[in-house]
Chains A and B, each alone.
Chain A
Amino acid sequence: MIDVYIVGIGQTNAGEHWDRSLRDLGVDAMLAALQDAGVGQVETLYVGNMLAGELVAQAQLGALLADWSGLGCIEAIRAEAADASGAAALRMGYLAVASGASDLVLACGVEKTTDADSESVDQAWSSGMDGEYETSQGLSMPAVGGLLMRRYMHEHGVGREAFAPFAVNAHANGANNPYAMFQRPISIEAYAHSGMVADPVGMFDVAPLCDGAAAVVLCAADRARELAAKPVRVRASAVATDRVALHSRTDPLSLQAAHLSALKAYAQAGVGPHDIDLFELHDSFSVMAALSLEACGFAERGHGTDLGLDGEIGLQGRIPISTMGGLKARGHPLGATGIYQVVELAQQLRGEAGANQLDCRLGMAQSLAGSGATAITHILEA
Chain B
Amino acid sequence: MNVPRYWRTESARYRLLGETCRQCGKPIFPPRDVCPHCTEPQQEPRTFAGKGEVYSYSTVHQAPAGFTDYGPYTVALVKLDEGPLVTAQLTDVENEQVYVGMPVEMVTRKIKEEGANGMIVYGYKFRPLIQQV
Residues on A facing B (Cβ under 8 Å)? 117-120, 122-123, 125-126, 130, 132-134, 136-140, 142-151, 154, 195-201, 243, 245-248, 252
Given A119-B68, A245-B87, also A138-B73 (CB < 8 A): yes
A252 to B77, CA, bound (A): 10
Interface of chain A, main secondary structure = helix
Set B9, B60, B70, B100: member contacting A154, Cβ < 8 A: B100
A269 to B63, CA, bound (A): 42
A325 to chain B, nearest CB (A): 22
A235 to B99, CA, bound (A): 46
Asked whether B87 lies within 8 Å of A134 as measured between CB atoms, the reply is yes
A137 to B75, CA, bound (A): 8
Given A139-B75, A147-B75, A248-B36, also A199-B87 (CB < 8 A): no
B-side contacts of A138, CB under 8 Å: 60, 63-64, 67, 70, 73, 75, 89, 111-112
**9 extra interchain contacts, Cβ-Cβ under 8 A, other than A134-B87, A138-B75, A151-B56?**
A123-B66, A137-B75, A137-B87, A137-B88, A138-B63, A140-B62, A143-B58, A151-B77, A197-B62
A243 to B77, CA, bound (A): 15
A323 to B32, CA, bound (A): 42
User: Shortest 9 CB-CB distances between A and B: which pairs?
Assistant: A146-B58, A122-B64, A247-B85, A151-B56, A123-B64, A123-B65, A119-B65, A199-B59, A147-B56
Asked whether B36 lies within 8 Å of A147 as measured between CB atoms, the reply is no
> Can you identify 8 A-B contacts, CB atoms within 8 angstroms?
A119-B64, A119-B68, A137-B75, A137-B88, A138-B60, A140-B60, A147-B76, A252-B85
Chain B residue with minimal CB distance to A199?
B59
A169 to B8, CA, bound (A): 47
Contact with A along B65-98 (1 / 0, CB 8 A): 1111010010111000000111111000001000
Q: Does B14 sit at the interface, judged by CB under 8 A?
A: no
Asked whether A196 lies within 8 Å of B64 as measured between CB atoms, the reply is no
Q: Does B22 sit at the interface, judged by CB under 8 A?
A: no
B66 to chain A, nearest CB (A): 6
Residues on B facing A (Cβ under 8 Å)? 5, 9, 12, 30, 36, 55-68, 70, 73, 75-77, 84-89, 95, 100, 111-112, 121, 123
A245 to B36, CA, bound (A): 12
Chain B residue with minimal CB distance to A132?
B9
A123 to B112, CA, bound (A): 14
A-side contacts of B36, CB under 8 Å: 243, 248
Asked whether B77 lies within 8 Å of A246 as measured between CB atoms, the reply is yes
Chain B residue with minimal CB distance to A148?
B56
A149 to B77, CA, bound (A): 12
A-side contacts of B64, CB under 8 Å: 119, 122-123, 125-126, 138, 140
A118 to B56, CA, bound (A): 26
A146 to B72, CA, bound (A): 14
Residue among A132, A150, A151, A201 with max Cβ neighbours from chain B (10 Å): A150
A120 to chain B, nearest CB (A): 5
A-side contacts of B123, CB under 8 Å: 136-137
A-side contacts of B112, CB under 8 Å: 138
B104 to chain A, nearest CB (A): 14
A-side contacts of B56, CB under 8 Å: 147-148, 150-151, 154, 252
Given A147-B58, A154-B56, also A122-B84 (CB < 8 A): no
Set B63, B84, B111: member contacting A136, Cβ < 8 A: B111
B59 to chain A, nearest CB (A): 4
A61 to chain B, nearest CB (A): 23
